[in-house]
Structure formats: structure tokens, C-alpha cells
Amino acid sequence: MSKNENFSRLHELLDRINIGHEGSNQVEDKPELSDQLAAYILWLDSEPMIPERTYSIHFETESTSVQVTDLSFKIDVNTLSQLAAKKLEQDEIGYCKLSLGQKVFFDAYSDNQITGSFTIFDSLSNAMLGTGLIDFALRRAQNISWHETNINQETRSNNKHQRPCVLWFTGLSGSGKSTIADELEKKLYELGKHTMLLDGDNVRHGLNRDLGFTDQDRVENIRRIAEVSKLMVSSGLITIVSFISPFRAERSMARNLFNDGEFIEVFIDTPIEVCEARDSKGLYKKARAGKLKNFTGIDSDYEEPEMSEVVLQNSDANIDDLVNKILDYLRAHSKI
């Protein structure tokens, strides 16, 4: 089905619904400029649309990144009723709040069917995933501006005599992420460096304690920690992040928050058989017995990195050797 046919399909459904939304009938000069929108989305891909995952959105003349910050409801195409939903499956239609990577000019679809429509693509493969029609701009988007401060990242970094970065550890549960990250921070501390270690389990005791282990919660888990890591780097710290972070899309999202060279992905490449044999927490045993759902590597996917800055084979390696490989990388790239 062509893009225009998908737009028509979505438009016909909205004609049947014939319901208004807050702000949709407000008169404004057109086109509007905003980075936050309310819109209807028809999802076309076999993989579901997950809120907070970063996609690419294409308008008539502009393209940028997009996140669905809220899936308000999906629409039953038979009864036209509004249903609660946490994600959109293939051929489902939802009413969503969108956050864009930059402000764009647009019209409401009711005013202009060309500038009021968009398509959504996969940020990595560029495959088309969905189509959408704009309802209106979210008013809160117009009231926020970035506040520049006198003390910035460069000032803080110079004060600490170091170049801040984030070392993003990814790998299966039991791969050795936390152990290696802890030893690395110890070595950096001994070198007089200013660091902060963010461990996945520890963060789930506080900031992310409301999140579970569904794909949607894992996406939000990484989004939050990526934003926190960005603040840490802005403060001039060498930030060590130890999270499974199983999906390439979210690791790519995290990378894109940082300047070139600031994001260093460290893949702890440990075979699942080795991880399972260690199983110090008994998690694999529970997952195999069906007592622990959505466990990475068992019934939830882990997408291995394709081009990490540092890859560590950790089947039977000496921990000091692994840490020294990371230190060698930091020295070679003038981080320490």
C-alpha cells in the first residue's frame, strides 16, 4: 500500500470518528512552528511502536528525530471506541503526543493535507514504519527555552583537569559489566580522575524504581539514564554506565545525545552459556523455569552491538587485563 493510500485510510477513519480535541479548533496563523505535536498515527511495521523510542519523522520539507512521549489511546477500527494501550501493533491507530528533535513548520491536517501529514522511519534502517496526521501543536512547547549558564561543561572540565565522556557498558546479565565497571572506576580514582558510576540495579532502586522489564519499560529505563549521563558529562565527569541496554535503537539514541567522541560503547562480549553458568543471582534459573518473564537472552532479545569502541571478551579473562584495555583506549584518545 502506498504512502498516499495509507494517509487516505487514516483520514477516512478520522471522518468516521468525528471527534474534536483540545486545541484542535483554535485559530492560529498558519503554518505553525513547534517541536511538540498531537497526532494520529497508523502503525505499519510488524514490530510495535514503543513510546519513548527514537524514530525518524519526515514532513513535506523537513526531517528530524521523534519520540512518542504519550500514547493517549488507540482506536478500535470496528467500534471506534478509545482503548488504553502501551504500544501500537501493526495496523493499529493511536492518538499520540510527539516530541521532535527540532522545531518544524506544519499545519493541522484539517487545514492542509500535505503539510499536515508525516511518515515515520526507522532511525537505523530507514525502513518506513508508520504514517500520521497532525491534530495540533502542544501549547507547552512554546513556553520553554534553553537557559545558558555562565559555568558550562568546558569550565567544569578545565577545573577538573580532564575530558569528560561516558563509558557505556552493555552486555548480558552475568557478563561482568558491573565488576569491570567498578574496577575501572577504582583505577580512574587512583589516577586522580573525577568519575561517577551508574549501575543498572542501583538506579532501579531509586530513579527507575517504577519501571519493570517489558520492552516499553526497558526503552524508558535507557532514555532516563542517557539523559542523566548527559548531565553528568556536562558536569565534567567521566561517567561509567553499566546497563544491559539490550536494544540498538536505544543505544543509538543515547549516543546521539553526546558530542563526537564523548560516547564510548564498551561491549562485554560474554557468551550466554558462560553468563548462565555464573548466574550468581539465580536469575537465569528462574527465567528457564518460567518464573521470571522478559529476561534478556531467554525470552527478551539482546541485540549485540555492531561497532563498539571497545569490545571485551570475558569468558575467562583476567579483570585487570580487561580494565587496562579500556584505560589504553582512554589514553590513546586523550581522555586521561
Contacts (Cβ under 8 Å, ≥6 apart) of 57? 63, 64, 65, 66, 98, 100, 118, 119, 120, 121
Nearest to 250 by CA among 100, 54, 68: 54
Q: What is the DSSP letter of 224?
A: H
Place of cell 580512574: 188
Report the interhelical angle of 177-190 vs 319-332 (nearest 10°): 60
Nearest to 99 by CA among 122, 71, 131: 71
User: Counting every residue, how long is the chain?
Assistant: 336
99 is catalytic: no
Grid cell for residue 224: 532516563
Neighbouring CB atoms inside 10 A of 5's CB total 10
Catalytic residue among 117, 173, 175, 245: 245
Q: Cα(186)–Cα(125) distance, rounded to whole angstroms?
A: 39
Contacts (Cβ under 8 Å, ≥6 apart) of 107? 30, 31, 32, 115, 116, 134
Q: Cα(17)–Cα(40) distance, rounded to whole angstroms?
A: 12
Phi-psi map region of 199: left, alpha, beta (phi>0 left; psi -120 to 50 alpha): beta
Dihedrals φ, ψ of 160, to 5°?
Answer: -90, -5
Grid cell for residue 23: 486545541
Q: Residue 27: which H helix or E strand, with range? A: none
Positions annotated as catalytic residues are: 245
